[in-house]
């Protein structure tokens, strides 16, 4: 999970063209929990938002396109889903974790 947060926060930092705020929140959602990372960058073009997480797809000049793919794989192993939303200012990456009874 450490790598997931590193990848998402790093992307948020790199997305912001000017100084801004990144907010990380954890909250109850349904029978599980969610963690959201909200940035104040330019947001994500709606025409490419569905491609985020595909291997080797990147919008960065020096990116590999593997960070969000690895993030999704880690989340899958934890039975979690990643949702990406545009805000009035910036984007929110929300990780939803379902409750697993042992």
pLDDT, one tens digit per residue, over 67-100 is: 888 999 999 999 999 999 999 899 999 999 998 7
Above 70 in pLDDT, residue 65? Answer: no
81 assigned to some structural domain = yes
Domain count, the chain: 1
Q: What is the CATH number of the domain that holds 54?
A: 3.30.565.10
Secondary structure element (H or E) that encloses residue 97, with its range? strand 91-97
Which tops the pLDDT comparison, 76 or 64? Answer: 76
The one-character DSSP state at 41 is S
SS3 10: helix
Q: Determine, yes or no, domain membership for 80.
A: yes
d(CA 27, CA 35): 7
Quote the CA–CA distance of 8 and 16 in Å, as a whole number.
13
- Domain containing 11: what range? 2-97
Phi, psi of 38 (to 5 degrees): -115, 130
User: Are 81 and 95 contacting, i.e. CB atoms less than 8 angstroms apart?
Assistant: yes
40 within some domain: yes
pLDDT in tens, 8-54: 999 899 889 889 999 999 999 999 999 999 999 988 888 887 777 77
pTM: 0.85
């Amino acid at each position: 999970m450490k790598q997931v947060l590193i990848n998402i926060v790093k992307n948020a930092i790199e997305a912001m063209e000017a100084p801004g705020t990144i907010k990380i929140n954890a909250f109850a959602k349904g029978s599980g929990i969610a963690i959201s990372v909200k940035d104040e960058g330019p947001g994500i073009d709606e025409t490419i938002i569905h491609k985020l997480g595909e291997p080797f797809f990147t919008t960065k000049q020096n990116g590999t396109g593997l960070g969000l793919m690895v993030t999704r794989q880690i989340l899958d192993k934890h039975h979690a889903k990643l949702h990406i939303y545009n805000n009035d200012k910036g984007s929110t990456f929300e990780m939803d974790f379902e409750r697993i009874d042992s």
